[in-house]
C-alpha cells in the first residue's frame, strides 16, 4: 500500500470571488466548478491546470476550520491531497506508522471523494488529505 499521485492542492482564501479572478489570471483558465461542503464549513472552487487540480477554500462561517487557518496563517497553501485506491486500508497503514488520522471512518468530501485528513503535527506540519474517488469501482 502506498499513496498515489497528488490529487489536488488546497489553498485557503479569504475572498472566493477575488481569488477566483486571481487564479483565473494565473492559470489562464476558469474554475470548472464550485461546491459548498457544509460539513467542513467551506465553499470550494476547482481549477484544472494541465493534469493538476487546484482547490480554493473559503470559510462559510466564523467557526469554519478555514477561518481558523486564515486567522493563524493568512491565505496560502492549506493542504496537499493524495489519491489512494483504498482509503480504509491506507488509514490503517498510516495509523500503524504512528500518524494521527483525523477522520476514521472517512467522510464525504468535495468533488465526489471520500476523504480523511492526517493531523499536521504527525506529518511534518503538512496537512495531508487522503482521497478515494467514489466514482471508481
Q: Which residues pair with 33 in a beta bridge?
A: 46
Nearest to 68, CA basis, from 14, 110, 128: 14
H/E element, 89: helix 87-96
CA distances from 105 to 74, 115, 117 (A): 30, 9, 11
Total residues in contact with Zn ion, by rule CB under 5 A: 4
What secondary structure letter does DSSP report for 101? B
Please report whether residue 41 would count as binding Zn ion according to CB under 5 A.
no
Interface residue with Zn ion among 10, 31, 41, 106 (CB under 5 A) is 10
The smaller minimum CB distance to Zn ion, of residues 38 and 96, is found at: 38
- List the x/- string, 87-126, binding to Zn ion by CB under 5 A: ----------------------------------------
**Which residues between 47 and 86 bind Zn ion (CB under 5 A)?**
55, 81
The smaller minimum CB distance to Zn ion, of residues 89 and 130, is found at: 130
Nearest to 53, CA basis, from 83, 86, 85: 83
Which chain residues interact with Zn ion by CB under 5 A?
A: 10, 55, 81, 129
Amino acid at each position: 500500500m502506498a499513496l498515489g499521485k497528488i490529487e489536488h492542492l488546497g489553498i485557503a482564501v479569504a475572498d472566493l470571488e477575488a481569488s477566483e479572478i486571481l487564479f483565473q489570471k494565473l492559470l489562464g483558465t476558469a474554475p470548472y466548478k464550485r461546491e459548498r461542503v457544509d460539513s467542513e464549513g467551506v465553499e470550494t472552487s476547482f481549477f484544472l491546470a494541465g493534469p493538476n487540480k487546484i482547490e480554493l477554500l473559503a470559510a462559510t462561517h466564523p467557526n469554519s476550520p478555514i477561518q481558523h487557518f486564515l486567522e493563524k496563517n493568512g491565505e496560502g497553501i492549506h493542504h496537499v491531497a493524495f489519491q489512494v485506491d483504498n482509503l480504509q486500508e491506507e488509514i490503517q497503514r498510516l495509523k500503524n506508522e504512528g500518524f494521527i488520522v483525523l477522520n476514521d471512518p472517512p467522510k464525504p468530501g468535495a468533488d465526489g471523494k471520500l476523504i480523511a485528513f492526517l493531523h499536521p503535527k504527525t506529518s511534518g506540519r503538512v496537512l495531508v488529505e487522503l482521497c478515494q474517488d467514489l466514482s471508481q469501482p
